[in-house]
């Protein structure tokens, strides 16, 4: 299905035939327990729905007073949705019949399609074409089905029957759907809509995400994805949905990207998965690292408002857990709030027996429900507090259930309250009370903190200023000429010399230098440039100059220049006898400052991904790099720098040299502009980019640009 076709289904109730159908046929209905057709039949027929449900089974007959149709075509007045639960080989003819019976949407739960073999893949293509031609929606094949508690549709192969609520679910894994349904039931979380994507032959991740985004009953969306059907499309939809409601995403694969995506070869560094992480962040998606974090975050979002900031007050009835929670707040990058003097005075009045009135506030082991509630109220009212974390240990005189009831009954104004009752047996009832009262609660403080951190990041994204991308004045025409010349001659690599020219056109500074052909010319230019100098061979056939002995550094006298020239010539004659030589580049050596790397790699789906990192080992071994999609704003470029652990270093932890952070951020923005202006650029790397003290001009010491291979190459 092409994007333009998909547009048909966009708009308020584009997926109405799927989620809110009036007339539903289950093709392959069964009454044999343990059969999928039987489970689906009871789910469909027993869920309260406004529409009508029809059983279709070739045997025909009657079940508990209801007619069973031998064929979907026999149903009077036809159907709107057909759910197909039949063996794969029967799917195509029965899908055709269903469409003839008027179906505007098909759910195919059968497996045996593209996930199985080539025969299945062919079958799947035919199924998709069939639905496409008929203008009907297709969910699946190999889908668990879908649920809409608003319309009362339960067309999913799952034993759980969710209650209505605000959580929307999209999953590429059917098993994950059952995990969410089961968790939600245990925690008293209601579901709005759920969709198992299956093989996505028709409707895909972004279609469902858009639909849940538009569904008014859906307040929070959780999504489990293994790969994206179309990255840029998904991101566009995701950003628009995230602007209205939170989307928590667990994407298999991205979690290990940090550890695995780095290879010694530079090209691999900018991997697809890292591109996704960066893209998701910009789109405002909340990325969960584990199943637990996905659930914890969704629960917090459903039950609590977004925080206005990241300052957390802790209310506890035990010192040790309070201290450990404070540690974990700091480690998560949030702040342990400083309570105001007024708050402390108010706490002293309200809690005469409290052990500690500063944050973490210790209400004392024997504090009752009333004391807990007062402490939360007072902490919540402090203008310097953005969220409250409550800890309870089940000590002798603690009142867990009463405290839970007090918290559940409390109507707090605008700030999140995250609750952590630590223990087991004595807290079971209290936990039910908290769940029933819509309080976000957890078993361990570090989990509450991880969820809160996700809330804070999302809230900060919602508050982000409008993106304004700076346009620098550059010599675009000169850049265009360099690129065009390379393309005309079929060169996809722009070597150091021309890459530096290209960057100069975008106002980067490069060291002074000359291309020379003879030793005499070299000596003459050396006098002009003054020492120390570097000498590099220039050849379209030599990518890694050092590997063939084509680079000499630190030349400090005419003798050095003469020796270097002769040595390069000698080495080249031996190691690259057939290389076409353009000459020898004699360049002024730049000293001092910090070496960083700026780079870009263009992802086929996501577009240009910018990279920043410190020099060689920091990038290759410490893996301390940051990514962002272009075009980038000044603030985003500054954020990229801060994302690296080396940030402290750059800011001058190493007292001996302070370096110009702004200059790096400007460099990233200039690259952003260059690669946005020229989609022909596939990748670009400035390594090293030498940055000096604030106010000095950073230098491109070496650079390389790769152009996209011409079409059809």
- Residue 289 vs 697, nearer CB to a second copy: 289
Sign of the dihedral through C-alpha 298, 300, 303, 304: negative
The span from the CA of 602 to the CA of 270, in Å, is: 9
- Residue 258 vs 490, nearer CB to a second copy: 258
**Shortest CB 448 distance to a second copy, Å:** 11
**Shortest CB 468 distance to a second copy, Å:** 32
Q: Which of residues 200-219 bind a second copy (CB under 8 A)?
A: none
Q: Which of residues 260-279 bind a second copy (CB under 8 A)?
A: 264
Q: What are the backbone dihedrals phi and psi of residue 643, each rounded to the nearest 5 degrees, phi first? A: -70, -25
- Residue 313 vs 614, nearer CB to a second copy: 614
Residues that bind a second copy (rule: CB under 8 A) add up to a total of 74
The span from the CA of 588 to the CA of 555, in Å, is: 10
Strands (E), 286-426: 286-287, 311-316, 335-336, 361-362, 387-392, 417-421
The span from the CA of 59 to the CA of 70, in Å, is: 6
Considering only 148, 233, 587, 624, the residue that binds a second copy (CB under 8 A) is 624
The span from the CA of 451 to the CA of 440, in Å, is: 10
Axis-axis angle for helices 369-381, 341-350 (nearest 10): 160
Are the CB atoms for 683 and 601 separated by under 8 Å?
yes
**Shortest CB 559 distance to a second copy, Å:** 14
Stretch that binds a second copy, among 492-500, 557-565, 597-605, 620-628 (CB under 8 A): 620-628
**Shortest CB 291 distance to a second copy, Å:** 5
**Shortest CB 501 distance to a second copy, Å:** 29
**Shortest CB 256 distance to a second copy, Å:** 5
Nearest to 100 by CA among 69, 128, 125, 79: 79
Stretch that binds a second copy, among 121-129, 338-346, 444-452, 530-538 (CB under 8 A): 444-452
Sign of the dihedral through C-alpha 637, 652, 598, 287: negative
Q: 3-class SS at 47?
A: coil
Considering only 36, 350, 460, 515, the residue that binds a second copy (CB under 8 A) is 36
Residue 605 token pair: 């789906």
- Residue 232 vs 273, nearer CB to a second copy: 273
Q: Which of residues 241-260 bind a second copy (CB under 8 A)?
A: 252, 255-256, 259
**Shortest CB 624 distance to a second copy, Å:** 8
**Shortest CB 273 distance to a second copy, Å:** 11
Are the CB atoms for 584 and 519 separated by under 8 Å?
no
- Residue 92 vs 323, nearer CB to a second copy: 323
- Residue 473 vs 656, nearer CB to a second copy: 656
What single DSSP character describes residue 9?
A: G
- Residue 587 vs 624, nearer CB to a second copy: 624
- Residue 498 vs 594, nearer CB to a second copy: 594
- Residue 236 vs 356, nearer CB to a second copy: 356
Q: Which of residues 127-186 bind a second copy (CB under 8 A)?
A: 157-160, 172-176, 178-179, 181-186
Nearest to 207 by CA among 150, 113, 131, 271: 131
Q: Which of residues 298-337 bind a second copy (CB under 8 A)?
A: 317-321, 323-324, 327-328, 330-331
Q: In what order do the strands lie in the sheet with 191-196?
A: 153-156, 145-148, 191-196, 164-171, 220-225, 247-251, 286-287
* Residue 196 CB contacts under 8 Å (≥ 6 apart), including other chains: 139, 140, 143, 144, 145, 146, 156, 171, 173, 174, 177
The span from the CA of 387 to the CA of 456, in Å, is: 10
**Shortest CB 386 distance to a second copy, Å:** 22
- Residue 162 vs 284, nearer CB to a second copy: 162
| CA-to-CA separations, 6 to 132, 193, 202, in angstroms, rounded | 10, 20, 9
Q: Is 63 a residue that touches a second copy (CB under 8 A)? A: no
Q: Which of residues 559-578 bind a second copy (CB under 8 A)?
A: none
Stretch that binds a second copy, among 3-11, 122-130, 211-219, 392-400 (CB under 8 A): 392-400
- Residue 158 vs 347, nearer CB to a second copy: 158
| CA-to-CA separations, 222 to 159, 184, 706, in angstroms, rounded | 20, 12, 39
The span from the CA of 373 to the CA of 663, in Å, is: 51
Here the contacts of 620-624 (C-beta below 8 Å, separation 24 or greater) are: 620/262, 620/264, 622/646, 623/258, 623/259, 623/262
Q: Is 226 a residue that touches a second copy (CB under 8 A)? A: yes
Residue 596 token pair: 């960083």
The span from the CA of 407 to the CA of 405, in Å, is: 5
- Residue 27 vs 157, nearer CB to a second copy: 157
As to burial, measured by CB atoms within 10 angstroms (0-12 exposed, 13-18 middle, 19+ buried), residue 433 is buried
- Residue 386 vs 620, nearer CB to a second copy: 620
Q: Is 187 a residue that touches a second copy (CB under 8 A)? A: yes
Q: What DSSP line would sit under 602-659, residue for residue?
A: EETTTEEEEEEEESHHHHHTS--EEEEESS--HHHHHHHHHHSTTHHIIIIISTT---
Stretch that binds a second copy, among 196-204, 458-466, 612-620, 663-671 (CB under 8 A): 612-620
Considering only 397, 484, 553, 573, the residue that binds a second copy (CB under 8 A) is 397
Q: Is 395 a residue that touches a second copy (CB under 8 A)? A: yes
- Residue 259 vs 468, nearer CB to a second copy: 259
* Residue 32 CB contacts under 8 Å (≥ 6 apart), including other chains: 38
Q: Which of residues 415-434 bind a second copy (CB under 8 A)?
A: 422-428
* Residue 345 CB contacts under 8 Å (≥ 6 apart), including other chains: none
Checking DSSP bridges between strand 335-336 and strand 311-316, what pairing results, if any?
parallel
Stretch that binds a second copy, among 64-72, 409-417, 454-462, 653-661 (CB under 8 A): 653-661
Stretch that binds a second copy, among 33-41, 52-60, 343-351, 409-417 (CB under 8 A): 33-41
**Shortest CB 101 distance to a second copy, Å:** 26
Q: Is 402 a residue that touches a second copy (CB under 8 A)? A: no
**Shortest CB 200 distance to a second copy, Å:** 15
**Shortest CB 487 distance to a second copy, Å:** 33
Residue 680 token pair: 């022909």
**Shortest CB 293 distance to a second copy, Å:** 9
**Shortest CB 650 distance to a second copy, Å:** 9
Q: Is 13 a residue that touches a second copy (CB under 8 A)? A: no
Q: What are the backbone dihedrals phi and psi of residue 363, each rounded to the nearest 5 degrees, phi first? A: -75, -5
**Shortest CB 42 distance to a second copy, Å:** 11
**Shortest CB 12 distance to a second copy, Å:** 32
Considering only 396, 489, 544, 712, the residue that binds a second copy (CB under 8 A) is 396
**Shortest CB 231 distance to a second copy, Å:** 19
As to burial, measured by CB atoms within 10 angstroms (0-12 exposed, 13-18 middle, 19+ buried), residue 186 is exposed
Site string for a second copy, 344-373 (x = CB under 8 A): ---------------------x--------
Stretch that binds a second copy, among 51-59, 272-280, 394-402, 517-525 (CB under 8 A): 394-402
């Amino acid at each position: 299905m092409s994007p333009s076709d998909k547009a048909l289904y966009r708009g308020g109730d584009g997926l109405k035939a799927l989620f809110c159908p009036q007339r539903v046929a289950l093709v392959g209905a069964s009454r044999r327990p343990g059969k999928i057709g039987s489970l689906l039949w009871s789910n469909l027929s027993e869920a309260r729905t406004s529409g009508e449900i029809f059983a279709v089974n070739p045997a025909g007959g009657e079940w508990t007073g209801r007619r069973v149709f031998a064929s979907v075509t026999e149903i009077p007045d036809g159907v709107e949705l057909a759910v197909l639960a039949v063996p794969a080989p029967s799917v195509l003819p029965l899908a055709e019949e269903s469409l003839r019976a008027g179906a505007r949407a098909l759910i195919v739960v059968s497996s045996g399609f593209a996930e199985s073999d080539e025969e299945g893949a062919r079958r799947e293509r035919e199924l998709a074409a069939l639905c496409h031609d008929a203008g009907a929606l297709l969910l699946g094949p190999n889908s668990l089905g879908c649920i809409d508690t608003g319309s009362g549709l339960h067309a999913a192969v799952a034993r759980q029957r969710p209650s209505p609520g605000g959580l929307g679910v999209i999953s590429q894994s059917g098993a994950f759907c059952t995990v969410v349904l089961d968790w939600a039931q245990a925690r008293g979380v209601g579901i709005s809509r759920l969709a198992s994507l299956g093989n996505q032959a028709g409707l895909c991740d972004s279609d469902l995400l858009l639909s849940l985004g538009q569904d008014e009953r859906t307040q929070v969306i959780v999504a489990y994805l293994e790969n994206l059907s179309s990255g840029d499309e998904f991101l566009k939809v995701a950003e628009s949905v995230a602007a209205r409601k939170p989307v928590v995403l667990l994407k298999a694969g991205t979690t290990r990207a940090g550890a695995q995506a780095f290879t010694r070869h530079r090209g691999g560094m900018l991997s697809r998965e890292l591109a996704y992480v960066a893209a998701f962040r910009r789109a405002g998606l909340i990325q969960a690292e584990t199943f637990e974090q996905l659930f914890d975050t969704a629960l917090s979002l459903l039950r609590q408002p977004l925080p206005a900031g990241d300052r957390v007050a802790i209310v506890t009835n035990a010192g040790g857990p309070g201290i450990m929670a404070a540690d974990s707040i700091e480690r998560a990058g949030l702040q342990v709030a400083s309570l105001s003097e007024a708050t402390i005075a108010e706490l002293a009045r309200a809690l005469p027996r409290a052990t500690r009135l500063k944050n973490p506030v210790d209400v004392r082991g024997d504090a009752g429900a009333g004391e807990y509630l007062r402490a939360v109220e007072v902490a919540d009212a402090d203008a310097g507090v953005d969220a409250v974390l409550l800890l309870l240990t089940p000590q002798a005189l603690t009142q867990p259930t009463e405290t839970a009831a007090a918290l559940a009954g409390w109507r707090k104004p605008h700030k999140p309250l995250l609750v952590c009752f630590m223990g087991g047996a004595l807290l079971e009832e209290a936990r039910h009370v908290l769940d029933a009262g819509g309080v976000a609660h957890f078993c361990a403080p570090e989990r509450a903190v991880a969820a809160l951190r996700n809330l804070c990041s999302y809230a900060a994204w919602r508050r982000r200023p409008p993106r304004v991308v700076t346009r620098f004045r550059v010599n675009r025409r000169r850049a265009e000429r360099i690129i065009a010349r390379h393309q005309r001659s079929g060169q996809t690599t722009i070597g150091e010399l021309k890459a530096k020219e290209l960057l100069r056109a975008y106002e980067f500074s490069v060291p002074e230098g000359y291309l020379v052909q003879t030793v005499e010319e070299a000596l003459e230019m050396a006098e002009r440039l003054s020492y120390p100098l570097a000498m590099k061979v220039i050849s379209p056939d030599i990518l890694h100059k050092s590997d063939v002995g084509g680079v000499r550094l630190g030349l400090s006298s005419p003798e050095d220049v003469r020796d270097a020239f002769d040595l390069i010539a000698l080495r080249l004659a031996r190691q690259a006898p057939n290389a076409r030589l353009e000459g020898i580049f004699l360049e002024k050596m730049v000293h001092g400052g910090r070496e960083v790397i700026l780079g870009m790699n263009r992802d086929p789906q996501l577009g240009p991904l910018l990279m920043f990192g410190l020099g060689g080992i920091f990038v290759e071994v410490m893996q301390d790099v940051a990514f962002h999609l272009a075009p980038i704003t000044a603030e985003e470029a500054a954020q990229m720098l801060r994302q690296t652990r080396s940030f402290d270093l750059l800011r001058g932890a190493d007292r001996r040299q302070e370096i110009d952070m702004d200059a790096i951020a400007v460099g990233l923005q200039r690259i952003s502009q260059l690669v946005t202006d020229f989609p022909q650029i596939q990748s670009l790397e400035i390594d090293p980019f030498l940055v000096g003290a604030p106010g000095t001009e950073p230098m491109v010491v070496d650079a390389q640009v790769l152009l996209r291979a011409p079409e059809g190459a």
